[in-house]
Structure 1
Amino acid sequence: MRFSVGCEIGYDLQSQSTLIFNISAMQGGRQRILSERLTISPDLVADEKTAADSGNRFVRLTSDPGEVRLRYEAEVELAPLHNEPESVDEVPVAKLPLETLTFLNPSRYCPSDQLARFASRQFGNIAPGFGRVTEICNWINSEVDYLAGSSDTTTTAADTFAMRAGVCRDFAHLGITFCRALGIPARLVSCYAWQLEPQDFHAVFEAWLGDRWYLFDPTRMAALDGMVRIGCGRDAADTAFATIYGSVISQPIRVWSEALDGDTSAQWTTDAVSVTRS
């Protein structure tokens, strides 16, 4: 399917500031950018760089005080890969690809060492594989309330576990944390999400199973087949859509994702979906 995605972001700069954005769709694998355009107002010189390790695409600009606005728009084609869940196994740590090992470690928002005992007790007796990660998502969806404003930029998965409330990134962080505690590499993915209401940047996670990354969304709020990846990393610290050095006032953000073809009435809620770059 093809999707039209994009965003409009604005800031009132109170002093000279440097802004780093990660809002461009990723390129590669089963996600193909057909066209895209980035407009910056005023017409500032911007540095653009694609990270070799993650594929995240960064835009950096510096501006004097005043208003700065960005508009990103793209047409992206996704080719989802559907596998039978029972055929997708976990991989022993001894046989994991070396590049996935980073995603076994605790990170700023995913203190897997702190929740290891609970993860082992709650999920340790479930047969390893795709089904176990699905059960992790089921538990989060059942036991954690989706509550706007219940968390902030300091909230970790341990906080979400204690409060039993959060937003999409908190749900994803908790899923990542439980997976890592069980020896399953997991990473955060930011995306444009088709059928998400209201529209916003969305956070989900991927777990390494079999020979690839598989996508999971514990919120169950959007269509897995319609998630256009923006960035991936250990947690939200690696995937923020904007990182700001300076004094600014944020303006309202507009995000959109629209299906351009295919059966737009369908909503894939199954977790047996992978749209990978590998």
Structure 2
Amino acid sequence: MHLSTVETLLEYRVREPSHFCFNLEAAHWPGQVIVSEELVVDPPLPRRAFGEGDSGNRFFRFDAPPGVVTVAYKADVEVHGEPVAGDLAEAPAGALPDALLRDLLPTRYCESDVLCGFARAEFGHLPPGLARVRHIVDWVHRHMAYRPGSTTSSTTAREALEQRAGVCRDFAHVAITFCRALNIPARLVAGYVWFDEPPQDFHAIFEAWLGGRWVLFDPTGMAPVDRLVRTGTGRDAKDVAFCTSFGAVELARKLVTVLEHDPRGGTAAPAPLATGLVAA
């Protein structure tokens, strides 16, 4: 069990009447217990919360007038990791549950149909199962450079692969694309986790369906996956964006902090408050 304190502060400059939808609260997810949490929107605008199927994703939305809007969220969350057996098998497409078929299909950011030939040439000869997915993860880690600013919110897996660089969401998108091209269901997972560098931010990893369960992987190698505080699960980044805005909106400040606590008491890995500050 790992206990983390996560905190987010977002400041927006709203140029015209706009609408916001956020997905930054800790998800309602098996193995994840929200001990306490607080959400503050300033000014205190009327907002509506809703969930999304069995994903555990939690959204809230509101209308905002022109001016400055800040959203602050803080939570203490217990994450209970589940050990992974080393012999997990892939399932034939015909044996997959109906709900998982969508996690085999190409999406806007994961063009598994376009990269199918590449994926099959590179990984198709490997024995199916957990070891093959780990090989994909290792390949992405070795062949792509983690380079903040090298991609944008519209960069796809194919584009990130062509330039062999990106950030965490690009690493995850490429790995997801390779898995789907090999008929392995895969999806994006977003959340909070502590890591040494770069500065703290939301983090994206992925999970693949193996042995009748979802298994987490992080192609960046930046942090242990069993410590991630999950906020969103979806087919790609568009499903788990921390904010979707409709209108003339500018992100002026983003501050993300994560503090991991030693189960025996005390703090195991403090994240300095200023390190997550980004000026837009």
TM-score normalised over the length of structure 1: 0.92
> Quick one: structure 1 residues 28 and 153, their matched pair in 2 at CA, closer, same or farther if it must change by over 3 Å?
closer
Per the TM alignment, residue 225 of structure 1 is displaced from its structure 2 partner at its CA by 2.0
Distance (whole Å) between structure 2 residues aligned to residue 266 and residue 13 of structure 1:
38
> Quick one: structure 1 residues 251 and 2, their matched pair in 2 at CA, closer, same or farther if it must change by over 3 Å?
same
> Residue 89 of structure 1 corresponds to which residue in structure 2?
89
Instruction: Give identity over the alignment, percent.
Output: 45
> Residue 62 of structure 2 corresponds to which residue in structure 1?
61
> Residue 130 of structure 1 corresponds to which residue in structure 2?
130
Structure 1 runs (4+) greater than 6 angstroms displaced: 263-267
Deviations 1:158-208 (A, max 9, x none): 111111111110000000000000000000111101225210001110101
> Residue 275 of structure 1 corresponds to which residue in structure 2?
none
Per the TM alignment, residue 233 of structure 1 is displaced from its structure 2 partner at its CA by 0.7
Distance (whole Å) between structure 1 residues aligned to residue 250 and residue 159 of structure 2:
28
Distance (whole Å) between structure 2 residues aligned to residue 266 and residue 156 of structure 1:
36
Superposed, 1:157-236 pairs within 5 Å as 157-197=157-197, 198-236=199-237
Per the TM alignment, residue 115 of structure 1 is displaced from its structure 2 partner at its CA by 0.7
Per the TM alignment, residue 252 of structure 1 is displaced from its structure 2 partner at its CA by 1.7
Distance (whole Å) between structure 2 residues aligned to residue 234 and residue 246 of structure 1:
25
> Residue 16 of structure 1 corresponds to which residue in structure 2?
17
| CA RMSD in angstroms, aligned pairs only | 1.6
- Residue type at the aligned position of 1:95: A
SS at match of 1:75: strand
Per the TM alignment, residue 265 of structure 1 is displaced from its structure 2 partner at its CA by 9.7
> Quick one: structure 1 residues 196 and 229, their matched pair in 2 at CA, closer, same or farther if it must change by over 3 Å?
farther
Distance (whole Å) between structure 2 residues aligned to residue 89 and residue 32 of structure 1:
29
Distance (whole Å) between structure 2 residues aligned to residue 196 and residue 102 of structure 1:
35
Q: Which moved more, 1:258-267 or 1:132-141?
A: 258-267
Distance (whole Å) between structure 2 residues aligned to residue 94 and residue 256 of structure 1:
43
SS at match of 1:7: strand
SS at match of 2:55: coil
Deviations 1:223-263 (A, max 9, x none): 21210100011100111100011112212211111112237
SS at match of 2:253: coil
Q: Which moved more, 1:1-10 or 1:100-109?
A: 1-10
Aligned residues between the structures: 266
Deviations 1:8-34 (A, max 9, x none): 111011111111100001113111111
Distance (whole Å) between structure 2 residues aligned to residue 80 and residue 23 of structure 1:
21
Give yes or no for the alignment of 1:34 onto 2:58.
no
Structure 2: runs of 5+ lacking an equivalent: 270-280
> Quick one: structure 1 residues 266 and 216, their matched pair in 2 at CA, closer, same or farther if it must change by over 3 Å?
farther
- Residue type at the aligned position of 2:226: D
- Residue type at the aligned position of 2:138: N
Distance (whole Å) between structure 1 residues aligned to residue 204 and residue 56 of structure 2:
17
| Residues 193 and 227, structure 2, Cα contact 8 Å, conserved in 1 | yes
Deviations 1:72-120 (A, max 9, x none): 11111111011232x2111111111111110000000000011111111
